[in-house]
Amino acid sequence: MSTRTAGTAAPSRREQILREAARLFAERGFHGVGVDEIGAAVGISGPGLYRHFAGKDAMLAELLVGISERLYEGGRRRSEESAAAGLPPQAALDALIEGHIDFALDDRELITLHDRELDRLREADRKQVRKLQRQYVELWVSAVRAVYPELTELEARVSVHTVFGLLNSTPHLSGPSALPDRETTAALLHRLARGALSAAAPRERGEGAESARPAERVEYTGPVEYTGPAERAE
């Protein structure tokens, strides 16, 4: 439970419980973990958890709604700060990419939870998650089109979802040597994200690009499915 929002303060008991619940749920599945096991992981009795949460369902809801809120609020803050500082569109987009990379590297358990357990949330919580995710996607769509105005809104949205899928692949790189050091990994992911978005923009023929053809416009009318925290269309 990081996403770079808690600063250096020691985590509260509630945050400790959520962190261990996320780890255990991701490793063994929601139904494979008992309240007593979560309590043991933080050094309290299982029944003691009920002073903090009504049960496992409440923990799962706070984890998934919470990360969606932090992604959206973090993205909105970065966008507003970039605009206030008069930064160019490329810098604003880079700020969004950096924020999502922090999430993809620091909260891999939550990516796994979203993929596996989102449908276990009660309907109101699930709708809240998807609303926040759609808002987060639209921040990215606006930033992408500011850099690549030749993209249609639909093309930009498809491109954003594709980049999310790329960045959110980190849970699949789980071996001890699957990733280089954090700084190197973050830089690599950033280059890949920017490269994917750049490749989505139609290119016109020009000097040094004789072999390139203008990309065909996307004619896609189906729902956009997203395979990780940001949005999955209903």
Mean pLDDT by 10 residues, the chain (234 residues): 53 90 94 92 85 92 96 98 97 98 95 94 96 98 97 97 96 73 94 96 51 38 42 44
Closest CA to 150 of 198, 86, 212: 198
What pLDDT is attached to residue 228?
A: 53
What pLDDT is attached to residue 47?
A: 80
Closest CA to 110 of 19, 32, 37: 19
What pLDDT is attached to residue 166?
A: 96
Closest CA to 25 of 121, 122, 109, 123: 109
Between CA 234 and CA 223 the distance in angstroms is 8
What pLDDT is attached to residue 194?
A: 97
Query: Hunting for tokens 């920017």 — which residue is that?
Result: 194
Query: What distance lies between CA 63 and its chain's CA centroid?
Result: 13
CB-count exposure of residue 65 (10 Å: 0-12, 13-18, 19+)? middle
Distances (CA, A) of 76 to 72, 107, 149, 206: 6, 19, 20, 37
What pLDDT is attached to residue 177?
A: 65
What pLDDT is attached to residue 136?
A: 98
Closest CA to 116 of 27, 21, 215, 187: 27
Query: What distance lies between CA 205 and its chain's CA centroid?
Result: 35
Query: Hunting for tokens 């072999």 — which residue is that?
Result: 211
What pLDDT is attached to residue 139?
A: 97
One-letter amino acid for residue 71 of the chain: L
What pLDDT is attached to residue 206?
A: 38
One-letter amino acid for residue 53 of the chain: F
